[in-house]
């Protein structure tokens, strides 16, 4: 198996949607699903092209109320290329007799290709192949090469190459009852000898998108006079009639440009799309420069492991999709990093807390991307301030789901496809997303040392989030502590107490501990500022010492519930919930990852049981070391002992259905050192999240970027034991049994390091970057690594 290539060697209609998502090509500016050029949207295929941050809102009446949703808009389909031999049918995989088939996603080059040899009803055999890429360097360009070879016949053939703006958003079945027509066509037409264009506009956000496509015949002859343009409103295509000759390939290049009205340094999207199209090089030229860009990226971003099977290939697939979702082309686009990539319409392209799992990989390689993604949040600080005021709170309340403006985009009702019922969606009560943002700001700084960013943007965000938590914390006479009431933790199976009218839970341990971490970090962050900037910032946001004193008080007295001795309760009274019949439900349903849907369809609710969709308390052990937790719990006046980690992990692992793909990442991380065998099993599940579609049919709607990036970070930080503590870069490798060696480059505080670890040695070489010595530690050994030098450590029994 080539660890750079994802291969499919037969056609499977049932898997086509999944493959389209996994074979999506993108460049951080736009992305196109790996759909076949001849395909229309159907229950098998779903062509989709999405602009990073290309949202639009539509209203629909659902269950007696009008709901408004902001969606990532499916843009005109530029892939369309269809053909029909004379007297036959338009080529269609569903009806053709397939003789040979191979589809390859070459991640090294960022190229998707497919070759099909088929036989038609007239027994004509034809081979049709395409290669396609979305240019990583020239962000407005994509190209497709198509060759058609008549194997045992000669004759006429008709070809269509088009742009289709009549498409709607219909990629997610459970959203299909909602309005879905986001585009209106403003203009369509032709340019030059071989060009067609389409200009569309989104109905509410007024985003204009222009696509221009040239279809160039580079081998073969068009029958005289038989090249023309065929049009319907919103749909335009070039039709060509050719004389095909047995064994002689006809070769076409379809060169596409895409611009939007939000682009920088353009005059008007359509003009620029046509202009670039006219001066562009051909397919081969473009391919060369595209591959060079990917070479440069892989040089920095690859993680090379020696392991059996397909682990290396899957790891690269995860890195590949991450780099296609955010790249240099995304900088300053004012987009966040979407939980499902720009690969499909699930979760509407929204931004969640999944950044928490995604940024560590970027921080250690291309931190300028994290910076840009954090600025997406900073620009929405005013909206978050308004949201806090409206909720009667202080500071900034960032939304659980964020889209264009930073208002709360979480849907009010969601459909349970199992029961067919629309249900209230309370997931916006996940206030912990704010802590994730503060955590991300701090860790970006910790890895890069970018004080300028902190002084200009970062610390202001952390302070406003600290304010939010301080205002959420209310004093309870009963417990003699501060409490946070009426929230949801990461575990979305619990949104209220059994039988309660009002949604929300009290003292979610994860939220409360994170709140304390944010407050402590806010106080620490203030010390990073120069006296002048500190004074200015305090003055601008009106922060005085009485307020920071209250923060100290909240830190000292925050409540964390416990039960059964030292089990941290997921929330207050968690222990009063019933235990769940795991065996019975597994026997009855098999796959019980989405217990919420199963129970609701039965007229029951997970709120009654000690079941969780995903890691919640365990998140604490994922984000913090035992020493850090000790500090946090001590600051609150609780005792924390490292042995609690194991007990709590066991307790909650036994009660989790892993209904979110993020859960496997977290569980395998927290078990990595105590139970390597189990950790590896769980890690395999995380690796398989998308490639095997472990949720049984969600990946075709979009990849799970948090799980993808989180699994890469498992190898990066967890396996290397990589941490930065008090100015020292620490390594403590513990590589999974099934991996023999790991090598990668990481960037830390401006310096690149090559790191190679095997079972018995660890070598770190300092490469280009800041010309300064760096302190490196392994176990008790500390070294000062001079620029350009290497250091090795012997590892035993790892
Ligand atoms: C998970 C959330 C996650 C979201 C987007 C949900 O299923 O429960 O934790 O943020 O998906 O990935």
Per residue in 169-186, pLDDT tens?
999 998 999 999 999 999
Instruction: Identify which of 430, 706, 708 to mutate to test ligand 1's pocket (most ligand atoms within 8 A of the CB).
Output: 706
Write down the pLDDT at residue 771.
86
Query: Ligand 1 centroid vs 618 CA: distance in angstroms?
Result: 16
**Residues 6+ away with beta carbon under 8 Å from 13:** 44, 93, 94
Cβ atoms < 10 Å from Cβ of 657:
23
What is the distance, to the nearest Å, from the Cα of residue 453 to the centroid of all Cα atoms in its chain? Answer: 24
Question: In the numeric block, which tokens belong to residue 418?
Answer: 């199992």
Which of these, 143, 140, 183, 161, lies nearest to 273 by C-alpha position? 140
Is pLDDT above 60 for 698?
yes
Write down the pLDDT at residue 351.
98
DSSP-derived 3-state class of residue 126: strand
Residues 235-261: what's their mean pLDDT? Answer: 98
**In which region does residue 402 sit, left (phi positive, over 0), alpha (psi from -120 to 50) or beta (all else)?**
beta
Query: Ligand 1 centroid vs 707 CA: distance in angstroms?
Result: 10
High-pLDDT (> 70) share of the chain, %: 100
Locate the ligand 1 atom nearest the alpha carbon of residue 353 and give its number. Answer: 10
Instruction: Identify which of 352, 399, 594, 606 to mutate to test ligand 1's pocket (most ligand atoms within 8 A of the CB).
Output: 352
Residues 776-784: what's their mean pLDDT? Answer: 93
125 is catalytic: no
Query: Ligand 1 centroid vs 736 CA: distance in angstroms?
Result: 27
Q: CA-to-CA distance for 322 and 327, rounded, in angstroms?
A: 8
pLDDT, tens digit, for every residue of 287-327? 999 999 999 999 999 999 999 899 999 999 999 999 999 99
Query: What are the phi and psi torsion angles at 100 (to 5°)?
Result: -150, 150
Residues 534-559: what's their mean pLDDT? Answer: 98
Which of these, 485, 364, 341, lies nearest to 52 by C-alpha position? 341
Question: In the numeric block, which tokens belong to residue 413?
Answer: 């009702």
Task: Say whether pTM exceeds 0.95.
Answer: yes
Query: Ligand 1 centroid vs 591 CA: distance in angstroms?
Result: 19
Instruction: Identify which of 660, 664, 665, 709 to mutate to test ligand 1's pocket (most ligand atoms within 8 A of the CB).
Output: 660
Query: What are the phi and psi torsion angles at 334 (to 5°)?
Result: 65, 40
Is pLDDT above 80 for 105?
yes
Write down the pLDDT at residue 370.
98
Residues 261-273: what's their mean pLDDT? Answer: 97
At what angle are helices 459-472 and 545-557 packed, to 10 degrees?
60
Query: Ligand 1 centroid vs 269 CA: distance in angstroms?
Result: 35
Q: In Å, what is the CA distance from 206 to each residue of 67, 73, 169, 406, 495?
A: 20, 12, 17, 18, 36
Q: CA-to-CA distance for 724 and 753, rounded, in angstroms?
A: 14
Write down the catalytic residue from 253, 293, 345, 492. 492
Where does residue 750 rank: exposed (0-12), middle (13-18), buried (19+ CB within 10 A)?
middle
Residues 29-40: what's their mean pLDDT? Answer: 97
pLDDT, tens digit, for every residue of 200-229? 999 999 999 999 999 999 999 999 888 999
pLDDT, tens digit, for every residue of 629-653? 999 999 999 999 999 999 999 999 9
Residues 713-720: what's their mean pLDDT? Answer: 97
Is pLDDT above 60 for 798?
no
Residues 347-351: what's their mean pLDDT? Answer: 97
Closest Cα to atom 7 of ligand 1 = 660
Which of these, 531, 473, 442, lies nearest to 724 by C-alpha position? 442
Residues 62-79: what's their mean pLDDT? Answer: 94
Locate the ligand 1 atom nearest the alpha carbon of residue 706 and give its number. Answer: 12
Q: CA-to-CA distance for 659 and 663, rounded, in angstroms?
A: 7
Q: What secondary structure letter does DSSP report for 571?
A: S
Write down the pLDDT at residue 779.
86
Half-sphere exposure at residue 748, Cβ-oriented, CA atoms within 13 angstroms: 26
Q: CA-to-CA distance for 355 and 713, rounded, in angstroms?
A: 12
Band (pLDDT 50/70/90 cuts) for residue 384 is: very high
Query: Ligand 1 centroid vs 512 CA: distance in angstroms?
Result: 20
Query: Ligand 1 centroid vs 490 CA: distance in angstroms?
Result: 8
Closest Cα to atom 6 of ligand 1 = 660
Query: What are the phi and psi torsion angles at 306 (to 5°)?
Result: -110, 115
Cβ atoms < 10 Å from Cβ of 524:
12
Query: Ligand 1 centroid vs 583 CA: distance in angstroms?
Result: 25
Write down the residue that tokens 């007696």 correspond to. Answer: 64
**In which region does residue 727 sit, left (phi positive, over 0), alpha (psi from -120 to 50) or beta (all else)?**
left
Residues 79-83: what's their mean pLDDT? Answer: 98
Q: CA-to-CA distance for 742 and 439, rounded, in angstroms?
A: 27
Q: CA-to-CA distance for 768 and 587, rounded, in angstroms?
A: 57
- What are the b/e assignments for 27-45, b being 16+ CB within 10 Å? bbbbbbbbbbbbbbbeebb
Between residues 387 and 594, which one has the greater pLDDT?
Answer: 387
Query: Ligand 1 centroid vs 658 CA: distance in angstroms?
Result: 11
Band (pLDDT 50/70/90 cuts) for residue 797 is: low
Q: CA-to-CA distance for 467 and 768, rounded, in angstroms?
A: 41
> Alpha helices, DSSP H only, in 280-331?
283-301, 311-325
Closest Cα to atom 11 of ligand 1 = 660
Locate the ligand 1 atom nearest the alpha carbon of residue 614 and give its number. Answer: 8
Is pLDDT above 60 for 582?
yes
Which of these, 103, 99, 149, lies nearest to 252 by C-alpha position? 149
Query: Ligand 1 centroid vs 243 CA: distance in angstroms?
Result: 53
Cβ atoms < 10 Å from Cβ of 26:
27
Cβ atoms < 10 Å from Cβ of 357:
26
Instruction: Identify which of 662, 705, 706 to mutate to test ligand 1's pocket (most ligand atoms within 8 A of the CB).
Output: 662
Query: Ligand 1 centroid vs 401 CA: distance in angstroms?
Result: 10
From the CA atom positions of the chain, what is the Rg in Å? 27
Which of these, 353, 366, 244, lies nearest to 300 by C-alpha position? 366
Q: In Å, what is the CA distance from 785 to each residue of 449, 729, 758, 761, 768?
A: 18, 10, 20, 17, 13
Mean pLDDT of the chain, nearest integer:
96
Write down the pLDDT at residue 153.
98
Which of these, 323, 335, 462, 489, lies nearest to 395 by C-alpha position? 462
Query: Ligand 1 centroid vs 660 CA: distance in angstroms?
Result: 6
Is pLDDT above 70 for 382?
yes
DSSP strand pairing (723-725 vs 567-568)? unpaired
8 A C-beta contact, residue 16 and residue 103: no
Locate the ligand 1 atom nearest the alpha carbon of residue 662 and give its number. Answer: 9
Half-sphere exposure at residue 402, Cβ-oriented, CA atoms within 13 angstroms: 31
Between residues 608 and 594, which one has the greater pLDDT?
Answer: 608
Write down the residue that tokens 């639009």 correspond to. Answer: 56
8 A C-beta contact, residue 525 and residue 498: no
Q: CA-to-CA distance for 544 and 783, rounded, in angstroms?
A: 43
Band (pLDDT 50/70/90 cuts) for residue 64 is: confident
Instruction: Identify which of 492, 701, 707, 710 to mutate to test ligand 1's pocket (most ligand atoms within 8 A of the CB).
Output: 492
Question: In the numeric block, which tokens belong to residue 485?
Answer: 């009431």
Instruction: Identify which of 174, 336, 337, 339 to mutate to test ligand 1's pocket (most ligand atoms within 8 A of the CB).
Output: 339
Band (pLDDT 50/70/90 cuts) for residue 752 is: very high
DSSP notation for 449-514: --HHHIIIIIHHHHHHHHHHHHHHEEEETTTTEEEE-SB--S-TT-SS-TT-SS--BS--HHHHHH
Locate the ligand 1 atom nearest the alpha carbon of residue 613 and give its number. Answer: 8
Which residues are near ligand 1 (CB < 6 Å)? 339, 347, 352-354, 490, 492, 613-614, 660, 662, 706
Write down the pLDDT at residue 796.
79
C-alpha angle 197/200/205, rounded to 5°? 155
Q: CA-to-CA distance for 381 and 642, rounded, in angstroms?
A: 37
Is pLDDT above 80 for 82?
yes
Write down the pLDDT at residue 285.
98
Query: What are the phi and psi torsion angles at 406 (to 5°)?
Result: 95, 5
Closest Cα to atom 8 of ligand 1 = 660
**Residues 6+ away with beta carbon under 8 Å from 628:** none
Where does residue 485 rank: exposed (0-12), middle (13-18), buried (19+ CB within 10 A)?
middle
Q: What secondary structure letter does DSSP report for 402?
A: B
Residues 736-757: what's their mean pLDDT? Answer: 96
3-state helix/strand/coil string of 234-267: CEEEEEEEEEECCCCCEEEEEEEEEEECCCCCCC
Query: Ligand 1 centroid vs 488 CA: distance in angstroms?
Result: 13
Write down the pLDDT at residue 63.
80
Which of these, 429, 322, 447, 428, lies nearest to 707 by C-alpha position? 322
């Amino acid at each position: 198996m080539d660890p750079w290539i994802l291969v499919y060697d037969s056609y499977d209609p049932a898997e086509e949607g999944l493959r389209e998502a996994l074979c999506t090509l993108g460049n951080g500016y736009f992305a196109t699903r790996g759909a076949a050029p001849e395909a229309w949207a159907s229950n098998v295929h779903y062509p989709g092209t999405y602009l990073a941050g290309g949202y639009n809102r539509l209203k629909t009446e659902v269950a007696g109320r009008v709901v408004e949703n902001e969606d990532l808009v499916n843009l005109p389909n530029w892939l369309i290329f269809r053909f029909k031999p004379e007297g036959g049918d338009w080529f269609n995989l569903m009806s053709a007799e397939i003789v040979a088939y191979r589809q390859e996603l070459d991640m090294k080059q960022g190229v998707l290709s497919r070759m099909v040899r088929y036989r038609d009803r007239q027994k004509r055999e034809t081979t049709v192949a395409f290669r396609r890429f979305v240019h990583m360097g020239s962000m407005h360009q994509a190209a497709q090469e198509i060759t058609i070879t008549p194997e045992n016949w000669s004759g006429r053939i008709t070809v269509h190459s088009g742009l289709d703006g009549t498409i709607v958003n219909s990629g997610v079945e459970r959203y299909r009852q909602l309005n879905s027509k986001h585009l209106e066509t403003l203009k369509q037409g032709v340019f030059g000898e071989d060009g067609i264009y389409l200009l569309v506009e989104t109905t509410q956000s007024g985003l204009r998108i222009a696509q221009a496509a040239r279809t160039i015949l580079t081998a073969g002859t068009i029958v005289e006079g038989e090249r023309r343009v065929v049009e319907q409103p919103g749909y335009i295509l070039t039709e060509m009639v050719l004389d095909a000759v047995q064994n002689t390939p006809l070769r076409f290049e379809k060169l596409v440009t895409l611009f939007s009205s939000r682009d920088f340094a353009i005059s008007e999207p359509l003009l620029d799309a046509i202009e670039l199209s006219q001066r562009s090089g051909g397919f081969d030229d473009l391919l060369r420069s595209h591959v060079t860009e990917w070479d440069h990226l892989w040089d920095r971003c690859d993680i090379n492991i020696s392991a059996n099977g397909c682990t290396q290939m899957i790891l690269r697939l995860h890195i590949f999709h991450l780099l296609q979702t955010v790249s240099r082309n995304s900088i300053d686009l004012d987009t966040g990093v979407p939980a499902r990539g720009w690969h499909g319409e699930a979760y509407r392209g929204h931004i969640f807390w999944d950044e928490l799992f995604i940024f560590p990989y970027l921080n250690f390689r291309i931190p300028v991307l994290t910076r840009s993604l954090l600025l997406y949040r900073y620009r929405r600080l005013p909206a978050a301030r308004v949201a806090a005021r409206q909720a009667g709170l202080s500071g900034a309340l960032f939304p659980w789901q964020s889209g264009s403006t930073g208002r709360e985009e979480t849907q009010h009702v969601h459909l349970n496809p199992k029961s067919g019922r629309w249900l209230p969606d309370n997931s916006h009560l996940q206030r912990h997303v704010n802590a994730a943002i503060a955590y991300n700001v701090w860790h970006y700084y910790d890895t890069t040392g970018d004080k300028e960013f902190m002084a200009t943007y970062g610390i202001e965000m952390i302070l406003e989030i600290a304010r939010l938590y301080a205002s959420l914390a209310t004093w309870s006479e009963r417990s003699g502590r501060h409490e946070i009431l009426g929230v949801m933790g990461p575990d979305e199976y619990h949104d209220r107490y059994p039988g309660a009218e009002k949604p929300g839970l009290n003292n979610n341990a994860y939220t409360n501990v994170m709140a304390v971490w944010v407050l402590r970090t806010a106080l620490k962050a203030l010390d990073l500022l120069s006296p002048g900037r500190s004074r200015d910032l305090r003055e601008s946001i009106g922060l005085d010492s009485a307020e920071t004193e209250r923060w100290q008080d909240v830190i000292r007295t925050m409540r964390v519930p416990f039960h059964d001795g030292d089990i941290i309760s997921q929330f207050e009274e968690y222990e009063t919930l019933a235990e769940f019949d795991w065996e019975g439900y597994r026997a009855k349903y098999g796959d019980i990852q989405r217990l919420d849907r199963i129970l609701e369809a039965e007229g029951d609710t997970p709120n009654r049981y000690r079941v969780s969709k995903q890691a919640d308390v365990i998140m604490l052990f994922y984000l913090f070391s035992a020493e850090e937790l000790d500090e946090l719990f001590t600051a609150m006046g609780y005792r924390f002992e490292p042995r609690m980690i194991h007990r709590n992990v066991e307790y909650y692992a036994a009660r989790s259905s892993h209904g979110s793909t993020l859960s496997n990442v977290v569980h395998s991380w927290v078990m990595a050192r105590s139970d390597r065998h189990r950790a590896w099993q769980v890690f395999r599940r995380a690796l398989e999240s998308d490639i095997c579609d472990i949720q049984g049919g969600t990946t075709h709607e979009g990849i799970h970027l948090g799980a993808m990036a989180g699994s890469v970070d498992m190898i990066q930080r967890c396996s290397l034991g990589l941490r930065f503590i008090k100015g020292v870069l620490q390594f403590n490798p513990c590589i999974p049994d099934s991996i023999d060696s790991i090598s990668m480059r990481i960037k830390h505080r401006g310096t690149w390091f090559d790191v190679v670890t095997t079972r018995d040695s660890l070598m770190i070489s300092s490469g280009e970057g800041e010309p300064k010595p760096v302190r490196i530690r392994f176990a008790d050994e500390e070294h000062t690594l001079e620029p350009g030098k290497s250091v090795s450590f012997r590892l035993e029994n790892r």
